[in-house]
């Protein structure tokens, strides 16, 4: 997603050559803070999509690598100077426990010059704030993993690392540089840096990510597109997303009850705006609905070692409706 820091601290957008007044350490720190948040989101997102791969309707091979493209910054020249890059592409994150992280070598900001046979720096880009090119690079990685069962990434320092993928549920996680957004569009989960859950412990933060991921895994966006976004319909998808949270947490290795803790922490402080909308139940009811899932999850986990929501989760919508 857009990372809007580089160039915004010290220089107006569009100002010409790199002025001496640019504070590169401050730019680097601002980028680093964004990357710290992104790393946390990617680590937790990876655990969720990896742990639930056995139950997702669409699974893809993945290595857990996320790139950054200097062209996506407000001032690509400042970003390159701050990160000491000659080109535009570098490692953003390798999700904890992913093949990229286990392979080693994918250190933050290490410059990349080759994805398979292609150098993504050679693809055309906009002058600034171009987020399409990095999305294209991620699409390219996905295609290579699907077609060739692996990828070799080449670095500007002459090194190269070959990585084999594993299966994960098909969703990307993207951090927004500002705002309290937490949204799912069917293919992505997008979380704003100002969302309060960044201050929570990992399991509670994972509960927020899992709610958004649940919308994608249960096909809500497409279902609402087909069947209309009447309040009652949206409300049923919201209930399903809430109730699936503890299932997704359990399979990812988190304590399922963290979903209840999340709702009780976040709800009273932040759901006030939503309460005026008839699309969401009030937070006490939402916490209760999540809690009611826990006995079944505990029983299944004890019996089968996993919480198979593809088989045992009670739907509140007919997923085939409108097809
Ligand atoms: Zn929702």
Average pLDDT rounded to a whole number, residues 259-281:
80
Instruction: Note the Cα 53 to chain centre separation in Å.
Output: 16
Q: How far is the CA of 28 from the centre of ligand 1 (A)?
A: 34
Give the 3-state secondary structure of residue 15.
coil
Confidence class for position 18, pLDDT limits 50, 70, 90:
low
Distance 187 CA to ligand 1 centre (A): 14
Q: State how far the alpha carbon of 127 is from the alpha carbons of 21, 88, 188, 282, in Å.
A: 22, 12, 25, 45
Q: What is the pLDDT of residue 269?
A: 82
Contact yes or no for 283/267 (Cβ under 8 A): yes
- Asked whether the predicted pLDDT for residue 10 surpasses 50, the reply is no
Q: How far is the CA of 259 from the centre of ligand 1 (A)?
A: 14
Helix, coil or strand: residue 39? helix
Confidence at residue 192, expressed as pLDDT on a 0 to 100 scale = 95
- Is residue 184 predicted with pLDDT exceeding 60? yes
Q: How far apart are alpha carbons 177 and 191 in whole angstroms?
A: 9
Give distance in angstroms: CA of 213 to centre of ligand 1. Answer: 9
Reading phi first (left if > 0) and then psi (alpha if -120 to 50, else beta), residue 107 is in beta
pTM, two decimal places: 0.92
Mean per-residue pLDDT, 17-25: 78
Mean pLDDT, residues 228-232 taken together = 93
Decide if pLDDT at 2 tops 70.
no
Calculate how far, in angstroms, residue 200's C-alpha sits from the geometric centre of ligand 1: 19
- The pLDDT of residue 3 is 35
pLDDT reported for residue 181: 87
Per-residue pLDDT, 282: 86
Q: 98 C-alpha to center of ligand 1: Å?
A: 27
Ligand 1 centre to CA of 102 (Å) is: 33
Please compute the mean of the pLDDT values over residues 216-233 and round it to a whole number. 95
DSSP annotation of 118 reads B
Q: Write the pLDDT tens digit of every residue in 28-38.
A: 999 999 999 99
Across-strand partners of 166? 62
pLDDT at 272: 64
Residue 185: pLDDT over 50: yes
Q: Calculate what percentage of the chain has a pLDDT beyond 90.
A: 83
Check: CB of residue 69 under 8 Å from CB of residue 130: yes
Q: If you measure from the C-alpha of residue 169 to the centroid of ligand 1, how many angstroms do you get, rounded to a whole number? A: 18
User: Residue 169 pLDDT more than 80?
Assistant: yes
Q: Residue 13 has what pLDDT? A: 42
Q: Which helix (H) or strand (E) holds 319?
A: none
Longest dimension (CA), the chain: 65
Q: Mention every residue, 6+ apart, whose C-beta is less than 8 A from residue 8.
A: 30, 74, 75
What's the CA-to-centroid distance between 223 and ligand 1, angstroms?
14
Segments in 149-282 forming alpha helices (H): 202-217, 220-227, 231-252, 258-270, 272-275
pLDDT at 289 over 60: yes
Evaluate if residue 5 carries a pLDDT over 80: no
pLDDT tens-digit map of 97-136: 999 999 999 999 999 999 999 999 999 999 889 999 999 9
CA of 289 to the centre of ligand 1 (A): 14
Q: What spacing in Å lies between the alpha carbon of 238 and ligand 1's midpoint?
A: 5
Q: pLDDT by residue (tens digit) across 292-317? A: 999 999 999 999 999 999 999 999 99
Report how far ligand 1's centroid is from the alpha carbon of 173 (Å): 15
Q: Counting Cβ atoms within 10 Å, is residue 102 exposed (0-12), middle (13-18) or buried (19+)?
A: middle
**Unique residue bearing structure tokens 């949206």:** 234
CA of 63 to the centre of ligand 1 (A): 27
pLDDT at 275: 55
Q: Give the CA angle between residues 104, 206, 176 to the nearest 5°.
A: 75
């Amino acid at each position: 997603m857009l990372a809007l820091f580089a160039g915004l601290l010290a220089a107006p957008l569009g100002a010409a050559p790199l002025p001496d007044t640019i504070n590169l350490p401050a730019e680097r720190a601002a980028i680093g803070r964004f990357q710290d948040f992104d790393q946390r989101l990617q680590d937790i997102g990876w655990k969720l999509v990896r742990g639930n791969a056995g139950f997702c309707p669409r699974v893809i091979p993945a290595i857990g690598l996320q790139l950054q493209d200097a062209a996506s910054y407000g001032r690509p020249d400042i970003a390159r100077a701050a990160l000491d890059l000659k080109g535009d592409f570098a490692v953003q994150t390798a999700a904890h426990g992913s093949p990229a992280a286990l392979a080693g070598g994918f250190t933050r900001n290490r410059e990349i010059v080759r994805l398979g046979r292609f150098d993504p720096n050679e693809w055309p880009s906009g002058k600034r704030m171009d987020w399409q090119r990095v999305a294209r690079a991620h699409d390219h990685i996905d295609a290579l993993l699907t077609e060739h069962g692996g990828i070799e990434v080449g670095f500007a320092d002459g090194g190269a690392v070959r990585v084999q993928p594993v299966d994960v549920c098909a969703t990307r996680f993207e951090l927004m540089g500002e705002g309290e957004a937490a949204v799912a569009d069917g293919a992505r989960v997008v979380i704003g840096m100002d969302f309060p859950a960044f201050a929570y412990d990992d399991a509670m933060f994972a509960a927020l990510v899992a709610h958004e991921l649940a919308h994608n895994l249960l096909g809500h966006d497409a279902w609402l597109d087909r069947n209309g976004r009447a309040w009652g319909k949206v409300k049923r998808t919201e209930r399903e997303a809430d109730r699936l949270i503890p299932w997704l947490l359990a399979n990812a290795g988190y304590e399922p009850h963290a979903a209840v803790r999340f709702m009780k922490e976040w709800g009273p402080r932040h759901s006030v705006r939503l309460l005026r909308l008839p699309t969401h139940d009030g937070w006490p009811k939402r916490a209760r609905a999540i809690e009611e899932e826990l006995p079944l999850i505990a029983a299944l986990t004890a019996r089968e070692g996993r919480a198979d929501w593809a088989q045992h989760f009670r739907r509140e919508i007919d997923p085939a409706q409108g097809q």
